[in-house]
Amino acid sequence: MTTIVQPVRPTAVAMQPLYRKGRPPRVVIDNSLVLAALMFGGGAPAALRLAWQAGRLRPLLCLATLYDLERRLSAPQLRLEGRERQQMVADYLPHALRVSLPGRLGRDAGAGTGEADEPPAMVMVRLAMAGRAHALVSADAELLALNGKLCCPVMSLDALLEQIPLRPRTQHREDRRAA
């Protein structure tokens, strides 16, 4: 007698609530969104920054994503001094959870010299798998199209912010009274 085992459907993972009281979700955040959160003071990127600072989510990073963030912050167009770059990275790192990616000779794949690096999207998918992420957040259309096909939901920043409480519940009540 042959037993047929049905694979677990990734969409079942996507339907679970992202935030549970006392347990912030582990989230892989596309570095373009991290950069926007560190550089700009308003809108959804600012809400993302407040969410990680308040412990409402736990960003995941690996050496490859950290190197990529530092590379982006060093872009000549941004005209950031070394101290400014260090301050921005220092604002992010204490809130992030470092994950080691299995890869080439125990090093994070994608943290090499540049020629053999993986595409950033693949590094993010591997990071989500290795860190058991609850969500992967990106503005990249190709990554967003993979929602339901990966180990965790892939969502836009706005979709993430809808599921993460940005303030304690008591502040919400105060806001309602003031209105």
Confidence of residue 9 (pLDDT cuts 50, 70, 90): very low
Confidence of residue 165 (pLDDT cuts 50, 70, 90): confident
167 contact partners, CB below 8 Å, separation of at least 6: 54
CA distance 16 to 176: 28
Number of domains in the chain: 1
Closest CA to 33 of 144, 137, 159: 137
- Residue 47's domain comprises 24-178
Question: Is the pLDDT confidence value at 78 over 60?
Answer: yes
Q: Which residue has the higher pLDDT, 81 or 169?
A: 81
The reported pLDDT for the residue numbered 106 is 41
- The CATH number covering residue 101 comes to 3.40.50.1010
Answer whether residue 107 is part of any domain.
Answer: yes
Answer whether residue 16 is part of any domain.
Answer: no
Answer whether residue 6 is part of any domain.
Answer: no
141 φψ region: left (φ > 0), alpha (ψ -120 to 50), beta (else): alpha
* Model confidence pLDDT, tens digit, residues 118-157: 788 899 999 999 999 999 999 999 999 989 899 899 999 9
Answer whether residue 125 is part of any domain.
Answer: yes
The reported pLDDT for the residue numbered 17 is 62
